[in-house]
Amino acid sequence: MTRRSYSQYCGLARALDLVGERWMLLIVRDLAIRPRRFGEILDGLPGLGTSLLSERLKNLEDDEIIERAISGRGRGGVVYRLTSRGQALARALQPLAAWGAMFLDPTQGDKFSPDWLFFAVRSAFHPEAAAGVHDCYEFRVDNNISFWVTVDDGDIQITQKRPRKPDFTLEMALSDLGSIASGQLDPQELIEQGRAKFRGNSRAAGRALTLFGAGRTPSRHSSSKDAPPHGGAASAKVSRIPPPQP
């Protein structure tokens, strides 16, 4: 099938030539979380058929955004994973995901996967603030999803298996976590309002508020006068951490 092109000498237009077709960026999103087999990609994207997935994967391989590899887990076999070019694309998608989170509506009944939540958390992460930080945070969402975020000197790992005793635990609703990822809510305000429960080391909680705090993306209801000055970034408030709850 012939691929369409905008035929513009523009970086954005060229990016859309490569990954602007439907499902392309969602495949990259899922592979940014971990390498996956063909069937795993298919299962994680309801509504995508096998023939179209094969076509999209071929295009991404041809453009050296993904590659095939032998899995080192389970029964082995071939998995798809991001190349260095694909990893750069995934990083570029993170602020786009944070922007899109402003428009999520939990009342719509959209399909949901914990993997998509992990990408949202990664999108809210401020790596420049994580130098020298070595923490583990546990998140409990809607009383049925638990995951752990390990921060190691600017690097972040997200897993559903407990890597070690967490420095603090935070419980909240899924809709509130999405609003934090978009920058519409300050996590400290949720704690103060009783909409989130915190247990553990208050200093670690303060660091987490800095690393995942609001301020990256203005609210869709805000005006330009509410935005931080050009070249600056709004900072998360970390000075009034309440005491841990039993």
- Let me know how long the chain is: 246
Q: What pLDDT is recorded for position 68?
A: 96
Which CATH code for domain 11-82?
A: 1.10.10.10
pLDDT, position 35: 94
Amino acid 233: pLDDT: 36
- Per-residue confidence (pLDDT) for residue 234, from 0 to 100: 34
Domain ranges of the chain: 11-82, 114-222
| DSSP per-residue string spanning 77-135 | -EEEEE-HHHHHHHHHHHHHHHHHGGG--TTS-----HHHHHHHHHHH--GGG-TT-EE
List per-residue pLDDT tens for the chain, 246 residues long: 678 899 999 999 999 999 999 999 999 999 998 999 999 999 999 999 999 999 999 999 999 999 999 987 767 789 999 999 999 999 999 889 888 888 887 777 788 888 888 888 887 788 899 999 999 999 999 888 899 999 999 999 999 999 999 998 989 888 887 777 667 777 778 878 888 888 999 899 888 888 876 444 334 444 434 444 333 333 333 334 455 555
User: pTM for the whole thing?
Assistant: 0.74
* pLDDT value at residue 175: 80
What are 227-236's contacts with CB under 8 Å, separation 24+?
235/210, 236/186, 236/187, 236/188, 236/209, 236/210, 236/212
Fold (CATH) for 114-222: Nonspecific Lipid-transfer Protein; Chain A (3.30.1050)
- Tell me the C-alpha distance between 197 and 195, whole Å: 7
pLDDT reported for residue 74: 65
